[in-house]
Amino acid sequence: MNEELLKILKSQGYQIVGKHSAVKTCHWVRKAITKGEICYKGKFYGIKTHRCLQMSPSVVYCTNRCIYCWRILPSERGIIWNGNSLSEEDDPEFIAKESIKAHRRALTGYKGNPKVKKEVLEEAMNPKHVAISLSGEPTLYSRISELIEEYHKMGMTTFLVTNGTRPEVLEKIKEPTQLYISLSAPSEEIYKKICRPVYEENWNKLIKSISLLRSFKCPTVIRITLLRNLNMEEIDDYARIIKIGMPKYIEVKAYMHVGCSIWRLEENSMPTHEEILLFSKKLAEKINYEIADEVQASRVVLLKS
């Protein structure tokens, strides 16, 4: 990995694992440990927020350059490098074990904190869930199936989030506990503006990946990130695309004006929860889904088939 980029990631709190992986403690894990709060995934799917590990096997390696991404894009720091593929890859067993060690290192500072219950911290130090979604596109790691298997061997559940540009990987992948595909545009034209694909064929590959959702036995999710005045109007087109895959769940979530995205977007691009709820109701009617839950603080609504 580029040395300058490595330095930036470490300054932002990333725990680097091997040549291309990283762990970073989610702020909701911190809230769960210190205040007993849970994230929306805890409310929607019943995971234990304080026992979730957030990692990526391909940190900052990605096939898109989404304008709403709160992670660093190397080009914005004048760093020139090939972030579209991994040249050397670490062993999946190494990544799985070292990611847990990195997670524990990040939590060490909570020992002795009077706000933290000892038993809660002990549980947090032994994560039961892994969100493979931190930064970058995880399916660029060619041994992603083996990595999922390693976590499963450890008794952990896996939540894989992909941008859908690698359908050839999804066709053969070892199924995670839950699979997410990000859908951030209702058309190829808007996709190119928002996701800024590295490869011309990424939109067609995304649609192919969505079609593969029907073949999965695990729960599947399409996550829609909405930006005001950019991708909130064409509900009929979203409905048409969703019907191709018919996932079990749809998460409709507001873009959040945080991290590196504030360099690319105005705060006004962030929809209110009321706007997210209205969009969700209209979409649910068109695809015959129901609104199953919502979390106002995260500006997210869950639809269920």
169, 195, 192, 193: which is closest to 182 by C-alpha? 195
> What pLDDT, on a 0 to 100 scale, did the predictor assign at position 270?
96
Per-residue b or e along 32-53, where b marks 16 or more CB atoms closer than 10 Å to that residue's CB: bbbeeebbbbbbbbebebbbbb
Q: Which helix (H) or strand (E) holds 95?
A: helix 92-107
Check pLDDT > 80 for residue 216. yes
In the chain, where the domains are located:
3-304
What three-state secondary structure class fits 108?
helix
Q: Is 26 annotated as a binding residue?
A: yes
Is 39 assigned a ligand-binding role in the annotation?
Answer: yes
CATH class of 3-304: alpha beta
Distant-in-sequence, close-in-space partners of 96: CB < 8 Å, separation ≥ 6: 147, 150, 151, 154
Confirm or deny that 69 is annotated as ligand binding.
yes
| pLDDT of 80 above 80 | no
Instruction: Report the alpha-carbon distance of residue 84 to residue 189 in Å, rounded.
Output: 22
Query: For 224-238, what is the mean pLDDT?
Result: 96
What pTM was computed for the model?
A: 0.93
Q: What is the pLDDT of residue 259?
A: 82
Interatomic CA distance for residues 233 and 94, integer angstroms = 45
Give the tens place of pLDDT for each residue, 46-72.
Answer: 999 999 999 999 998 999 999 999 887
DSSP three-state, residue 19: coil
> Does residue 252 sit in helix, strand or coil?
strand
Give the mean pLDDT of 283-304: 97
